[in-house]
Amino acid sequence: MEFIDLKTQQTRINDDLRLRMNRVLEHGQYIMGPEVAELEKALAAYVGVKHCISLSSGTDALLLPLMALGVGPGDEVIVPAFTFIATAEVIALLKATPVFVDVEEKSYNVDPEKLKAAITSRTRAIIPVSLYGQIANIAAIQAAAGGIPVIEDAAQSFGATHNGKRSCSLTSVGATSFFPSKPLGCYGDAGACFTDDDDLADLMRRIRIHGQERRYYHTHVGINARIDTLQAAILLAKFQVFPDEVERRMRIGERYSDLLRGSCEVPFIEPGNTSVFGQYTIQVDDRETVQKKLQAAGVPTAVHYPLPLHLQPVFRSPHLPEGTFPIAESAARRVLSLPMHPYLSDVDQDQVVSAVKDALSVRA
Ligand SMILES: *Cc1c(COP(=O)(O)O)cnc(C)c1O
């Protein structure tokens, strides 16, 4: 059993995938070829926003809106303490200060009350993370933010909805990743930003190509953050089956919860939300033992994430000792992600579930 099976999907879309990749090899426009615009149009329509700016990675999708907003030294950007490093890394890269906030116990997403208390006159942006595939509490976050721009880190939640609106459409900017293991993944690194703001979109498009307004005429300091045409072609093929895969993810996630509820802490999905289960993550006591037992039973697992950001060596500070963000710290000790992908069979899932139950009961 694989933690994430990408092969079954490849077999399913094989003909279309090869056709689209071959077309790129034939036209030879490897940078900003026609597939890039085609992908952006399709994804913007799917998300329900005016602009999609496709990019070289999810990390760049977080960096570009901050650059476009002019975030720099002396500025603060608020992020949850419990997320992947990239969410905060891009802030530090711009010599601004990531301000960490604890998360909610049930959703693992940033706590809007604590976020409100962390806002200062220097807060230039807020990056809530839609962790494990469920959109963060955007309404409460927007209310707390006042007019401060909110950038959704939707790397794990592409395809999820809140009251029928899709992830990446609910804030000033939505940023997602197409890393192979994400809900919509390519065969390399890529990502995208989504926005309804014409000016911000224009600026991010420029920054993506060295701050260039027209060829060899540069108005801003930018970077090279373009998606490869080949990856855009791959994503177009994968996008054909994506809505079906989202349905499958939801069904498999719900089935996990139905089977595991009572044995361990299963994901809590807020009313009005759907999750794409970018990860299917439970909480257990004595995680290391459980993980070893699962490994022995042939069930691969992963930990997202073993260390909250304020305890990462790169961000450690005497002002934020252990104990500062107790919920993030507890989650980091207890979370365990189980095999999750749209093609997980009931048989395999039953095997995972019984192995989890065995591991938990033997321990007790
Ligand atoms: C994967 C991920 C990113 C970074 O995306 P890349 O495409 O790997 O650069 C950022 N934030 C979160 C929450 C992620 O899971």
Identify the helix (H) or strand (E) that includes residue 259. Answer: helix 229-260
> Which residues in the chain are classed under CATH 3.90.1150.10?
242-359
- C-alpha 225 – ligand 1 centre gap (Å): 15
190 CA: nearest ligand 1 atom: 7
57 CA: nearest ligand 1 atom: 7
Check whether 364 has a pLDDT greater than 70: no
CATH (residue range 242-359): 3.90.1150.10
pLDDT tens, 311-362? 999 999 999 999 999 999 999 999 999 999 999 999 999 999 999 999 998 5
Residue identifier of the C-alpha nearest atom 14 of ligand 1: 155
Amino acid at 221: V
Looking at residue 219, its pLDDT comes to 96
> Which residues in the chain are classed under CATH 3.40.640.10?
6-239
Check whether 20 has a pLDDT greater than 70: yes
Q: Can you tell me the mean pLDDT for 113-125?
A: 98
Substitution site in 156, 223, 235, 309 for ligand 1 pocket (most atoms within 8 Å of beta carbon): 156
Kindly report the three-state secondary structure assignment for every residue of 1-61.
CCCCCCHHHHHHHHHHHHHHHHHHHHHCCCECCHHHHHHHHHHHHHHCCCEEEEECCHHHH
Check whether 309 has a pLDDT greater than 80: yes
Q: Could you tell me the two tokens for 26? A: 């034939």
- C-alpha 204 – ligand 1 centre gap (Å): 18
Check whether 363 has a pLDDT greater than 50: no
Q: Can you tell me the mean pLDDT for 266-270?
A: 97
Q: Can you tell me the mean pLDDT for 129-145?
A: 97
| CA–CA separation, 154 and 175 (whole Å) | 5
Structural contact between residues 132 and 278, judged by C-beta atoms closer than 8 angstroms: yes
Residues with a CB atom less than 6 Å from ligand 1:
57-59, 83-84, 86-87, 129, 153, 155-156, 177, 179, 189, 191
How many other C-beta atoms lie within 10 A of the C-beta of residue 48?
Answer: 15
Structural contact between residues 110 and 104, judged by C-beta atoms closer than 8 angstroms: yes
The CATH architecture assigned to 6-239 reads 3-Layer(aba) Sandwich (3.40)
58: confidence class by pLDDT, cuts 50, 70, 90: very high
59 CA: nearest ligand 1 atom: 9
- Nearest to 78, CA basis, from 122, 136, 133: 122
- C-alpha 270 – ligand 1 centre gap (Å): 23
Strands 280-283 and 335-338: antiparallel
Looking at residue 361, its pLDDT comes to 87
Check whether 295 has a pLDDT greater than 70: yes
Q: Could you tell me the two tokens for 149? A: 């721009």
Substitution site in 64, 84, 87 for ligand 1 pocket (most atoms within 8 Å of beta carbon): 84
Residue identifier of the C-alpha nearest atom 7 of ligand 1: 58
Report yes or no on whether pTM surpasses 0.75: yes
Check whether 193 has a pLDDT greater than 70: yes
